[in-house]
């Protein structure tokens, strides 16, 4: 029945017979998916929180299941009262076990065996619990919010409970820990948020149903630039991990400092490289002009953006893991708040930061090149208002939260009138 339904989906609404339209309208009214995440809502996953709220705002009904309990040392968003979030790790619903298709599920279990014995066993346990939840709540679709563990659990649970599933793939999923082929192959659809990641998934999995759906960002009032004769205020934000390239930023700021370029830089974030970066700042004698703020709440980070002229993004490819950023939300948020973006060159970032048009991109990821781009951006302050307007136009055209959430929901649901 599911096969016939998806065959009907490939045609436009006007081509469907009356019977097919009746079936589709009934399923659309009854579409009740569940989103599967590892931990939620992690501090770095604000984009998921925004997306879920937009789904809810549009009148859609769904549930959210987390695979793991909160972890000490992690920060989480707390304002999620309007969302139905349940924890799978302490579920007590095994009374549904007789209704599950264990033989088929075990066959799919072999697909994720390359992840290792512990990961495979853990995925199976959670998939069984999730499949029970599917039966308990009448869920008819699963969405793995990452292409790693959440998608692997969905891959098994969907077979156990006889429902479809889809996958969201993000930068880490694509570049550092590519998803397993059967997980993408068996999904009804896989979505990703950058054109670079979309190309890579098509390369890895020819024939897979992969679509580009960008995250949404809310519009804010247009910012006016005042003349600034004092030090340029520079902001950087992110997790202190190798792919964020904060060491490149500090070396670039050291170059500017020795050239007598006036600036004040605040770096927001936290992570395993914090102490190393702090020592590096001190060794470069930047203590008077570079400050680490720690991790900031979203409202405080937005205030920092409104006080800053430049948002410096220094993403690089991690040489050990191959991990790299997609389109960081901090860039989109800073654009929305009127910051001028100065970025190192990354394929996905170049989709939004267009040199001289919506920001400035350094020639390469070297400190000298980044320092030169910061100087260039500062020398062209008369054109900043034009860059901000171009940035906001790009955001409105490509990162509209209502339109993109609606597109993602239709892809999950398999609307026949939806044209990718």
How do beta strands 210-212 and 190-192 pair? parallel
3 state DSSP class of 189: coil
3 state DSSP class of 393: helix
| Rounded-to-integer distance, Cα 144 and Cα 72, Å | 24
pLDDT digits (tens, 9 = 90+) for 78-98: 555 556 667 765 545 444 455
Res 41: pLDDT? 66
CATH dotted code for 232-398: 3.40.50.2000
* Bridge partner residues of 87 (DSSP): 66
Res 5: pLDDT? 27
C-alpha pair distances (Å), 416 with each of 1, 11, 214, 354 = 15, 6, 21, 35
Total Cβ atoms within 10 A of residue 131: 29
Contact between 265 and 234 under an 8 Å Cβ cutoff? The reply is yes
Among 61-75, 220-234, 271-285, the range with the most confident prediction by mean pLDDT is 271-285
Do the first three CATH levels of 31-216+400-413 and 232-398 match, i.e. the same topology? yes
Contact between 353 and 332 under an 8 Å Cβ cutoff? The reply is no
Domain spans of the chain, in order of start: 31-216+400-413, 232-398
Q: In what order do the strands lie in the sheet with 263-268?
A: 290-294, 263-268, 232-237, 310-313, 340-343, 360-361
Of the chain, the end-to-end C-alpha distance in Å amounts to: 23
| Residue 382 in tokens | 């008369």
Question: What torsion do the CA atoms of 269, 322, 332, 397 make, to the nearest 10 degrees?
Answer: -170
- Assigned CATH topology for domain 31-216+400-413: Rossmann fold (3.40.50)
Res 81: pLDDT? 54
Residue 14 has pLDDT above 70, yes or no: no
C-alpha pair distances (Å), 159 with each of 66, 102, 139 = 19, 8, 13
Q: What percent of the chain has pLDDT over 70?
A: 77
Res 118: pLDDT? 53
Res 20: pLDDT? 45
SS (H, E, C) 270-296: CCCCHHHHHHHHHHCCCCCCEEEEECC
Res 46: pLDDT? 78
Res 202: pLDDT? 93
Q: What percent of the chain has pLDDT over 90?
A: 55
pLDDT digits (tens, 9 = 90+) for 109-134: 555 555 555 567 778 888 888 988 89
Residue 232 has pLDDT above 90, yes or no: yes
Eight-class DSSP state of 327: S
What is the rounded average pLDDT for all residues in the chain?
83
In which region does residue 79 sit, left (phi positive, over 0), alpha (psi from -120 to 50) or beta (all else)? beta
Question: Band of the pLDDT at 12, cuts 50, 70, 90?
Answer: very low
Diameter over CA atoms, the chain:
75
Residues contacting residue 337 through CB under 8 Å, at least 6 positions apart: 220, 223, 302, 305, 306
3 state DSSP class of 123: helix
3 state DSSP class of 267: strand
Among 10-14, 160-164, 165-169, the range with the most confident prediction by mean pLDDT is 165-169
Res 24: pLDDT? 44
Residue range 36-60: mean pLDDT, rounded:
84
| Rounded-to-integer distance, Cα 346 and Cα 327, Å | 9
Residue 200 has pLDDT above 90, yes or no: yes
Angle, helices 149-161/102-109, rounded to nearest 10 degrees: 150
Contact between 120 and 112 under an 8 Å Cβ cutoff? The reply is yes
Residues contacting residue 7 through CB under 8 Å, at least 6 positions apart: none
Residue range 379-406: mean pLDDT, rounded:
92
Res 132: pLDDT? 86
Q: Higher pLDDT residue, 234 or 79?
A: 234
Question: Band of the pLDDT at 319, cuts 50, 70, 90?
Answer: confident
Res 124: pLDDT? 81
| Rounded-to-integer distance, Cα 203 and Cα 306, Å | 40
Residue 199 has pLDDT above 90, yes or no: yes
Res 222: pLDDT? 73
* pTM score above 0.75: yes
Q: Higher pLDDT residue, 59 or 73?
A: 59
Identify which of 344, 351, 364, 355 has the alpha carbon closest to the alpha carbon of residue 397.
Answer: 351
Residues contacting residue 55 through CB under 8 Å, at least 6 positions apart: 62, 405, 409
Residue range 61-82: mean pLDDT, rounded:
68
Res 420: pLDDT? 42
| CA Rg value for the chain | 23
How do beta strands 85-87 and 63-66 pair? parallel
* Bridge partner residues of 265 (DSSP): 234, 290
């Amino acid at each position: 029945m599911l096969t016939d339904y998806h065959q009907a989906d490939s045609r436009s609404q006007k081509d469907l017979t009356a019977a097919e339209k009746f079936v589709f309208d009934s399923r659309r009214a009854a579409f009740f998916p569940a989103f599967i995440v590892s931990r939620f809502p992690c501090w770095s996953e604000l984009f998921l929180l925004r997306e879920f709220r937009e789904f809810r705002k549009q009148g859609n009904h769904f549930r959210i299941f987390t695979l793991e309990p909160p972890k000490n040392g992690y920060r989480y968003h707390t304002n999620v009262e309007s969302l139905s979030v349940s924890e799978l790790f302490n579920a007590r619903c095994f009374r549904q076990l007789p209704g599950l298709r264990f033989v088929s599920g075990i066959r799919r279990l072999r697909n994720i065996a390359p992840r290792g014995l512990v990961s495979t066993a853990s995925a199976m346990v959670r998939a069984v619990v999730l499949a029970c939840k599917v039966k308990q709540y009448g869920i008819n679709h699963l969405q793995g919010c990452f292409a790693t563990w959440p998608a692997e659990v969905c891959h098994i649970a969907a077979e156990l409970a006889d429902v479809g599933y889809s996958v969201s793939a993000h930068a880490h999923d694509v570049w550092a820990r590519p998803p397993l082929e059967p997980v993408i192959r068996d999904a009804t659809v896989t979505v990703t948020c950058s054109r670079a990641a979309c190309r890579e998934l098509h390369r890895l999995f020819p024939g897979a149903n992969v679509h580009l759906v960008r995250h949404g960002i809310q519009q804010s009032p247009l910012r006016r630039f005042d003349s600034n004769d004092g030090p340029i205020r520079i902001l950087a934000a992110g997790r202190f991990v190798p792919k964020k390239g904060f060491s490149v930023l500090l070396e670039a700021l050291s170059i500017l400092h020795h050239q007598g370029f006036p600036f004040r830089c605040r770096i927001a974030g936290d992570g395993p490289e914090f102490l190393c970066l702090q020592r590096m700042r001190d060794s470069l004698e930047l203590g008077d002009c570079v400050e680490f703020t720690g991790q900031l709440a979203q409202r405080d980070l937005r205030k920092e953006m409104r006080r800053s002229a430049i948002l410096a993004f220094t993403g690089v490819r991690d040489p050990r893991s191959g991990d790299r950023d997609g389109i960081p939300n901090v860039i989109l948020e800073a654009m929305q708040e009127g910051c001028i973006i100065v970025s190192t060159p990354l394929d996905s970032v170049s989709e939004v930061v267009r040199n001289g048009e919506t920001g400035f991109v350094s020639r390469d990821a070297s400190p000298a090149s980044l320092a030169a781009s910061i100087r260039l951006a500062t020398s062209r302050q008369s054109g900043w208002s034009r860059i901000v307007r171009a940035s906001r136009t790009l955001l409105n055209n490509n990162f509209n939260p209502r339109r993109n959430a609606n597109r993602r929901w239709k892809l999950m649901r398999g609307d026949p009138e939806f044209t990718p």
